A = this chain, B = another copy of it.
Amino acid sequence: MTRRAPRQADIAALAGVSQATVSVVLGGNQGGVRMAEDTRLRVLAAAEKLGYVPDPVATRLASKRNHMLGLYTFKATFPTDVADSYYPILVGVEEQAAALGQDLILFTGADGRGERTHDEVAIRRTRIADGCLFFGRHVPVASIEKLVESDFPLVYIGRRDELEGRIPFVGADYVSASAAVVDQLASLGHRNVRYVRENDDAPSSTDRERGVVEAAAKAGIECRVVRDEVPVDEWLRDGVTAVVVEETDTGAAYAAVRAAIADIDLSYAVLGRPPEGGDEVTGFEVPRREMGRRAVELLVELITGDPRNLHQLLPCTPVPGTTVKDVR
């Protein structure tokens, strides 16, 4: 009983015109072709009667456009471990895609064995969509470069500096946000602080560190950077009064710091938001949802051909919190 989905040829037969005419009518007559109103109506009626829906694959092969945006993540799109940081981005992406009438293709497994291989083939698959959003701490440069060079529209969610800035992105301004946190520490009298970060270099980490280091230098306070360790006893000996910790999607550094200073009277702040609850923790809010929205916006601009700003950095919202004490 599987009735084959109707195609333009079926409509053509029913309306008594050629398949090409059907295409012109249903395509909204982009070419400005002159067309008898009567023919147009007959075609439309036939299409409606048959319940016609264009085949997006054929549309794309013939025209280069199918109103689908890809979303390629370098881990699962719906990760279980870092849901908090991913989900808001997805919400924003979906919101804006819907607003612009675009469907979303999630590029999941795809190699047929469930193994996620980020090789060229897997990434080239994204070409099924009109353009693609990419999301992940790191970039498989070689594969992405081919895409970029072939002028395939793509946007990274998160700042990227690979390929000499040829990768369009929508990121968060971690430098300013991190600097603001250090400024707050300085204004409350802290002169000797530590910054704990994870040992994984990605722009989001580098930017945070840069903001911290620059702000500390400017304020004239000491701020050493430590990676993946929390030598609390040493800090206390050295007269440290506050610790700032990186937020990553795993939350590892933050968890380590919290555990280490649980029973100690030390001010602390996080460069982002703690994994759960913790409204009182000093830090800032990453505009994830807005990033998702803007990334879609930029991608569609890229597809339609008049992108405004290829590299966007969105401001984070400061969260004053109460975990940084006044030590003046």
A16 contacts the other chain (Cβ, under 8 Å)?
A: no
Give chain B residues whose Cβ lies under 8 Å from the Cβ of A60.
57, 128
Which of A89-97, A185-193, A209-217, A309-317 participates in binding chain B?
Answer: A89-97
How long is the Cα–Cα vector from A105 to B80 in the complex, in angstroms?
20
A101–B91 CB distance below 8 A: no
Q: Which of B87, B94, B149 contacts A83 (CB 8 A)?
A: B87
* A61 adjacent to chain B (CB < 8 Å): yes
> Could you tell me if B120 and A112 are in contact, using CB atoms closer than 8 angstroms?
no
For the complex of A and B, list the 4 residue pairs with the smallest distance between their C-beta atoms, beginning with the closest.
A98-B109, A101-B112, A99-B114, A2-B151
Contact of A76 with B by CB under 8 A: yes
A67 to B101, CA, bound (A): 23
A59 to B34, CA, bound (A): 34
CA distance A114 to B297 in the complex (A): 13
- Name the interface residues of A286-322: CB closer than 8 Å to any CB of B: none
What separation, in Å, do the CA atoms of A108 and B5 have in the docked complex? 22
Copies in the complex: 2
Q: Check if A53 sits within 8 Å of B109, measured CB to CB.
A: no
How far does the alpha carbon of A77 sit from the alpha carbon of B105 in the complex, in Å?
Answer: 13
- What residue of chain B has the Cβ atom nearest to residue A4's Cβ? B150
Q: How far is the CA of A90 from the CA of B90 in the complex (A)?
A: 12
Q: How far is the CA of A157 from the CA of B305 in the complex (A)?
A: 39
Q: Do B55 and A76 have beta carbons less than 8 Å apart?
A: no
A51 at the B interface (CB under 8 A)? yes
Is A151 a contact of B57 with CB atoms below 8 Å? Answer: no
